[in-house]
Amino acid sequence: MSEMSISEALGLANKMTQFRNHLNDSEKILIAAGEAEAFLKQSDVNIKKKKEELYALDKSIASSGEIEKEAIQRKDNAAGEADAAVARAKDVSDAKLEAVRADADGAIAEIQSEITIAREKQEESSLEMVVKIQDIEAKRAESQHKLDEVNAELDALQRRISGR
C-alpha cells in the first residue's frame, strides 16, 4: 500500500467533511419529518376534541326538558340540519386530513429516499440539500394551512350549532 499524498489526503478529508455535512442535513430533515408527524397526530387529537364538544353541545340541547313543543320541533329541525352539516364537515375534514396525511407520508418517504441517496452520493452539494429542506418546510406549511382550514370549518359549524 503506497502512502497517500497530502493533496489526496486533503481531498479525502474534504469529501469526508462534505459527507458529514450531508448526514447532518439528513438528520435535520428526519427531525423535521418527525415534527410534521407529531403535528399531524396533535391535529387528530384537536379534531377529536372539537367533535366531542359538538356532541356535548347537541346532548345538552337534547336534554332540555323545559322547551315548549314548538321549540322542540324547531330544535329537532335544527339538529337535523346540524347533523347534516356535521356530516358534510366531517366528510370535508376527513378528506382534507387524509390529504394532509398523504402529503406528510409522501414527504416522509421522499425524505427517507433522499437520505439514502445522500449517503450513496457523498459529492452532492449542500445547496441542493437546503433547497430540499425548504421544499419540505413549504409542504409542512401547506399541511398546516389545510389543517387550519379544517379547524375553521369545525369552529364555524360549532358556532352555527350554538346559535340554535
Query: What's the rounded Cα separation, in Å, for the pair 83 and 89?
Result: 10
User: Which pLDDT value is given to residue 107?
Assistant: 63
Query: What's the rounded Cα separation, in Å, for the pair 78 and 164?
Result: 7
Q: Would you say residue 132 lies in a domain?
A: yes
Q: Would you say residue 43 lies in a domain?
A: yes
Residues 118/23, Cβ–Cβ less than 8 Å: yes
pTM, two decimal places: 0.30
| Whole-number Cα distances in Å, 138 to 8, 13, 28, 133, 144 | 40, 34, 15, 9, 10
User: Which pLDDT value is given to residue 126?
Assistant: 59
User: What total of structural domains would you count in the chain?
Assistant: 1
Q: Would you say residue 97 lies in a domain?
A: yes
**Distance, first Cα to last Cα, the chain:** 86
- Give the range of the structural domain holding residue 116, as residue numbers without chain letter: 6-162
Q: Which three cell numbers, joined as nine digits, stand for 40?
A: 399531524
Report the percentage of the chain scoring pLDDT > 70: 63
Q: Would you say residue 101 lies in a domain?
A: yes
Q: Would you say residue 93 lies in a domain?
A: yes
Q: Would you say residue 136 lies in a domain?
A: yes
Q: Would you say residue 1 lies in a domain?
A: no
pLDDT class of 131 with cuts at 50, 70, 90: confident
